[in-house]
């Protein structure tokens, strides 16, 4: 796979479809899947009227999707409706599963979601990955992937692909981690170290967090900036429901936007970057808190108790975030800014100064700032759902299973 699945389709040798009948069939299969996924259960007639095809044409598509294990018939519709009763269609709960994985600085996580978006299996292993080379980390991750795959297979599902969220820059090949400073990984080809039997996508955790917000968030707009943090600070720009990736795939490095040009040196080579003021290390130092297991919980707990040093550190971090975000908001004019990841848990103490700064500095009307409900779950869920989205976008990638 050369790009995230929502943008293009998993590359399969010899499967390039010309934009002819085959391409049309593929698009119609995708329209049926998206319609049933978003609005189901629906009868065949309801699907036909929603996508504007004849009932006969829809029936052919539906039969194919049922044979592929992507749609299920739920039995006759409730009586009392006008007309001949038909079976209600739903996306399958026993078909493909999207396997999402996350390489965190302090943990590894793997989960599986089905086409209905339900999490069917999830495992998390805590332990520092800082300074470990990619080989042992990915060997451990592969073990967790195998465990999750075995669990969903026991429930009659089959893995359709693996998507891995990493805290670093990923090349456009969607498998090479170019730089992950907090892991100290450089030019690591994760594709060579992960199971070869599943289509693979590797992407920055902030990107998957933003996609999770787009797909699962309550009323998330189609144009927004998603800002998240684990150890570093990442951002993702979503424009018209799509990630803005940049020429090399590196868009969204908000953490290295200068807040004070003469500020302290940053690992990136610059000075006074946002991460020097709002990154986890900087906030812990300013708050006088020792780095420990649950750092976000620790900071939130102290702030809630009224610890002045912690509150001041978070206020300063909010100000720095507001300054950095001003540049992005003025440049891109998003509908909103969403705080996710670790920032969501600290929002009550970051937001006041962040909003003040943004309101004071933006040229146009004030851009609203909201807090993600997904919190730290975002990247893992976004990864798993991206695999399911790829199946909805192109059901033919799994059709040969029929």
Q: Which region holds residue 233: left if phi is over 0, alpha if psi is between -120 and 50, else beta?
A: beta
Shortest separation between residue 9's beta carbon and Zn ion, angstroms: 35
CB atoms within 10 A of CB 106: 15
How many amino acids of this chain bind Zn ion (CB under 5 A)?
5
Smallest gap from Cβ 265 to Zn ion, in A, equals 9
Query: Would you count residue 241 as binding Zn ion (CB under 5 A)?
Result: no
CB of 246 to Zn ion, least distance (A): 17
Among 38, 74, 268, 304, binds Zn ion (CB under 5 A): 268
- Please give the Cα distance from 188 to 178 (Å, whole number): 7
Between 268 and 309, CB nearer to Zn ion: 268
Between 117 and 258, whose beta carbon lies closer to Zn ion? 258
Would you say 261 or 364 has its CB closer to Zn ion?
Answer: 261
Residue 271 interacts with Zn ion (CB under 5 A): yes or no: no
Indicate the Cα dihedral angle 13, 9, 206, 104, nearest 10°: -40
Exactly one of 256, 260, 311, 361 binds Zn ion (CB under 5 A); that residue is 256
Q: Are strands 107-114 and 119-126 parallel, antiparallel or unpaired?
A: antiparallel
| Beta carbon nearer to Zn ion, 179 or 361 | 179
Nearer Cβ to Zn ion (266/374): 266
CA distances from 118 to 94, 111, 122 (A): 11, 10, 11
Nearest to 43 by CA among 57, 62, 60: 62
Indicate if the alpha-carbon torsion angle 375, 378, 380, 384 is positive or negative: positive
Question: Which listed residue (86, 195, 221, 270) binds Zn ion by CB under 5 A?
Answer: 270
Among 206, 266, 328, 397, binds Zn ion (CB under 5 A): 266
User: Among all chains, which residue has been given the structure tokens 């299920």?
Assistant: 72
Q: Give the DSSP H/E element, type plus range, for residue 300.
A: helix 295-305
Q: Is 273 in the site for Zn ion (CB under 5 A)?
A: yes
Q: Which stretch binds Zn ion (CB under 5 A): 170-178, 255-263, 306-314, 347-355?
A: 255-263
Q: Are 108 and 137 in contact (CB under 8 A)?
A: yes
Nearer to Zn ion, 256 or 281 (CB): 256
User: Which residues of this chain interact with Zn ion, rule CB under 5 A?
Assistant: 256, 266, 268, 270, 273
């Amino acid at each position: 796979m050369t790009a995230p699945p929502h943008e293009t389709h998993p590359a399969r040798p010899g499967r390039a479809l010309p934009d002819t009948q085959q391409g049309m069939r593929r698009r119609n299969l995708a329209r049926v899947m998206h319609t049933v996924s978003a609005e189901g259960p629906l009868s065949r007639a309801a699907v036909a009227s929603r996508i504007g095809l004849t009932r006969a044409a829809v029936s052919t598509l539906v039969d194919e999707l049922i044979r592929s294990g992507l749609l299920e018939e739920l039995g006759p519709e409730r009586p009392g409706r006008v007309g001949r009763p038909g079976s209600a269609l739903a996306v399958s709960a026993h078909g493909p599963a999207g396997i999402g994985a996350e390489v965190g600085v302090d943990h590894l996580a793997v989960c599986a979601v089905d086409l209905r978006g339900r999490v069917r299996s999830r495992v998390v292993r805590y332990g520092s990955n800082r300074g470990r080379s990619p080989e042992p980390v990915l060997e451990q991750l592969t073990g967790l992937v195998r465990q999750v795959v075995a669990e969903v297979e026991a429930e009659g599902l089959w893995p359709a692909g693996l998507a891995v969220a990493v805290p670093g820059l990923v090349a456009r090949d969607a498998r090479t981690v170019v730089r992950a400073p907090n892991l100290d990984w450089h030019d690591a080809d994760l594709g060579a170290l992960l199971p070869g039997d599943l289509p693979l996508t590797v992407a920055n955790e902030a990107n998957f967090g933003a996609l999770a917000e787009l797909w699962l968030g309550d009323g998330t707009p189609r144009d927004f900036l998603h800002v998240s943090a684990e150890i570093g600070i990442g951002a993702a720009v979503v424009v018209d429901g799509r990630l803005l990736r940049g020429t090399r795939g590196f868009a969204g490095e908000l953490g290295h936007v200068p807040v004070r040009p003469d500020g302290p040196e940053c690992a990136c080579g610059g000075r006074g970057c946002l991460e020097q003021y709002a990154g986890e290390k900087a906030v812990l130092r300013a708050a006088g808190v020792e780095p420990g297991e649950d750092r976000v919980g620790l900071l939130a707990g102290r702030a809630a108790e009224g610890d002045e040093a912690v509150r001041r550190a978070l206020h300063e971090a909010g100000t720095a975030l507001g300054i950095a975000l001003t540049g992005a908001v003025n440049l891109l004019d998003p509908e909103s800014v969403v705080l996710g990841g670790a920032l969501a848990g600290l929002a009550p103490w970051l937001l006041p100064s962040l909003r003040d700064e943004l309101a004071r500095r933006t040229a146009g009307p004030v851009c609203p700032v909201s807090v993600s409900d997904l919190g730290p779950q975002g990247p893992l869920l976004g990864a798993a759902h991206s695999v399911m989205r790829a199946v909805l976008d192109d059901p033919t990638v799994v059709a040969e299973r029929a």
